[in-house]
Structure 1
């Protein structure tokens, strides 16, 4: 009998969109599957597994979802602006387009909910994170409303106060 591989916690995350939480209020989050081509999956897996191998610059693929957003068109959801860097040693007979639009796999109830939410004024859908769930690549998307400049400043002040408060509480016990 073979043993199951030990899964390292925290190693499933491929890419995060930290800017989305700074630029938007995230009201609701959904988990969507991602329709990927073979070279994209291979590139993402090489990025996850090949970090300690020699020749990482040739094998490691990268993913960037910092500028990505979701468009709902013809009853389907599409991810725009995500960049999946192909591996340098990928097959030469396949044309690798790193910024192609990728279909998001959602059920009809989730699509209807997204349609209803983004038809309101000022709402959009952004990609928040890209990660592995078992053997499948998933993307977490969020229904978002843009922040004003004063909202961003107040969030920054709140974050700084939380850090200062934690520092004070830590030093108070000494």
Structure 2
């Protein structure tokens, strides 16, 4: 049972996602409370391998209002992702290729823990995005025709 916290729909539009990975997220107490309140934004979030560890950048978790000021967290600090060492080595090799990146696709609850789904993606060009849009429009029109035919 997983409940989605936040998703990054823009990532699937801007990247060709070839593979996805699930990672745990190392959080502080006030961050967890802010996530439960729904004050999280992952639209600009991406992962990067540094010194043998995987970090999440650009994830915006707003401070929890009722926390004491000395217990507050920074809203856009880098957060460590918890994955197996083999996966880190594989992701490091993949991102060494020019144009490959690790965008954050969604954040969700799984067994009481916050999980992040990251994808291995290669950036789309403007013409690729237009081609995808054209294919979606053609598919939608074909479905309308089938529905119209079945109604008669």
On whether the aligned pair clears a TM of 0.5, the verdict is yes
Whole-Å Cα distance in 2 between the matches of residues 46 and 22 of structure 1? 27
Q: TM-score, normalised by structure 2?
A: 0.94
Aligned residue number for residue 91 of structure 1: 68
Structure having the higher strand fraction is 2
Q: CA deviation at 1:158?
A: 0.8
Q: How many residues align?
A: 151
Q: TM-score, normalised by structure 1?
A: 0.83
Q: Deviations over 1:24-65 (max 9, x none)?
A: 100110000000100011111233xxxxxxxxxxxxxx1111
* Structure 1 residue 121 corresponds to structure 2 residue 114: no
RMSD of Structure 2 on Structure 1 (CA): 1.3
Aligned residue number for residue 142 of structure 1: 119
Whole-Å Cα distance in 1 between the matches of residues 61 and 145 of structure 2? 43
* Structure 1 residue 46 corresponds to structure 2 residue 46: no
Whole-Å Cα distance in 2 between the matches of residues 99 and 121 of structure 1? 26
Whole-Å Cα distance in 2 between the matches of residues 44 and 121 of structure 1? 34
- Of the three residues 132, 135, 139, the one matched with 2:109 is 132
Q: CA deviation at 1:76?
A: 0.1
Residues 100, 122 of structure 2: 8 Å contact kept:
yes
Q: Spell out structure 1 runs of 4+ moving beyond 2 A.
A: 90-93
- Structure 1: gaps of 5 or more residues: 1-6, 48-61
Q: CA deviation at 1:163?
A: 1.4
- Of the three residues 100, 103, 110, the one matched with 2:80 is 103
Aligned residue number for residue 172 of structure 1: 149
